[in-house]
């Protein structure tokens, strides 16, 4: 059974780069599937950030495209999110997710809260 | 502003059915049978309950069903139970460059 776990700093300063890692247990990011990041702003709905297909192809939300990067880790069981030039508006719970497709997301991490504050 | 439109809230009594709508456009819901629904309880990660408009993943109760008409997809929960109280989000493939769009979410209250 595949499980996902997010990790990374819970506090990031404005203008810096938010970096999160998702560790996949019970599977590999190179055996198929879409590997996504979704965020949820405080008290708000879900926002799609982007995904990386297992081949390495990526697709990002147009509203974040200029600041976001999703890539595979050095290990076959990790992928990462980098979001640059963060502001308080990027404060959110960040989820890493496995998808059968970009929109059919069947395994979710528990989520990690990232606060942007000086 | 979300690309897919959902009612902010719906409510129902135990045992009754409710339906949550998700309205998109011909670039997403209308032209593709690639709609999924997620249930999210407070403080928890979302959980996939419907995919490809009508299909339920293994382990999801058959009280949950999905349908689509034109540009609007719908999630129906029959025989409401107290544990169904949660937020529900629709999601669709879109032919725009985004490829993935969410609805704004609907809070279901079981009275």
pLDDT in tens, B17-38: 999 999 999 999 999 999 999 9
- pLDDT the model gives residue B2: 61
More confident residue, A17 or B1: A17
Joined together, the tokens standing for residue A82 give 């980098």
**Per-residue pLDDT band at A56 (split at 50, 70, 90):** confident
- pLDDT the model gives residue B1: 52
Joined together, the tokens standing for residue A84 give 């640059």
Residues B102-108 have a mean pLDDT of: 96
d(CA A18, CA A38): 14
- pLDDT the model gives residue A102: 85
**From chain B, which residues contact A within 8 Å (Cβ)?**
2, 34-36, 38, 40, 45-48, 51-52, 57, 87, 89, 91-93, 97-105
Determine the residue of chain A that is closest to B29 in CA distance: A103
Between B2, B34, B105, which is nearest A103 by CB? B34
Say whether pLDDT at A19 is over 80: yes
Joined together, the tokens standing for residue B68 give 């689509």
Between A48, A102, A106, which is nearest B57 by CB? A106
Task: Using DSSP bridges, classify how beta strands B106-110 and B9-12 pair: parallel, antiparallel or unpaired.
Answer: parallel
- pLDDT the model gives residue B98: 74
DSSP A76: T
- Flag if B34 and A45 touch (Cβ within 8 Å): no
Q: Which of A59, A57, A37 is nearest to A105 (CA)?
A: A37
């Amino acid at each position: 059974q595949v499980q996902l776990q997010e990790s990374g700093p819970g506090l990031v300063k404005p203008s810096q780069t938010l970096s999160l890692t998702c560790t996949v247990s019970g599977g590999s990011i190179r055996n198929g599937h879409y590997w996504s990041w979704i965020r949820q702003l405080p008290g708000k709905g879900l926002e799609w950030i982007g995904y990386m297909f297992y081949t390495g192809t990526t697709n990002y939300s147009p509203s974040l495209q200029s600041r976001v990067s999703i890539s595979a880790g050095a290990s076959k069981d990790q992928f990462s999110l980098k979001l640059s030039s963060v502001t308080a508006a990027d404060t959110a719970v960040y989820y890493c997710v496995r998808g059968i497709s970009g929109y059919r997301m069947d395994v979710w991490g528990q989520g990690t809260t990232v606060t942007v504050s000086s | 502003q979300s690309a897919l439109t959902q009612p902010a809230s719906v409510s129902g009594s135990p045992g009754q059915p409710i339906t949550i709508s998700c309205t998109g456009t011909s670039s997403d819901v209308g032209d593709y049978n690639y709609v999924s629904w997620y249930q999210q309880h407070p403080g928890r990660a979302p959980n996939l309950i419907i995919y490809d408009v009508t299909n339920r993943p293994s382990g999801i109760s058959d009280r949950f069903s999905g349908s689509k008409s034109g540009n609007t997809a719908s999630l129906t929960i029959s025989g409401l139970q107290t544990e169904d109280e949660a937020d529900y989000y629709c999601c669709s493939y879109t032919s725009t460059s985004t490829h993935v769009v969410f609805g704004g979410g609907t809070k279901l209250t079981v009275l």
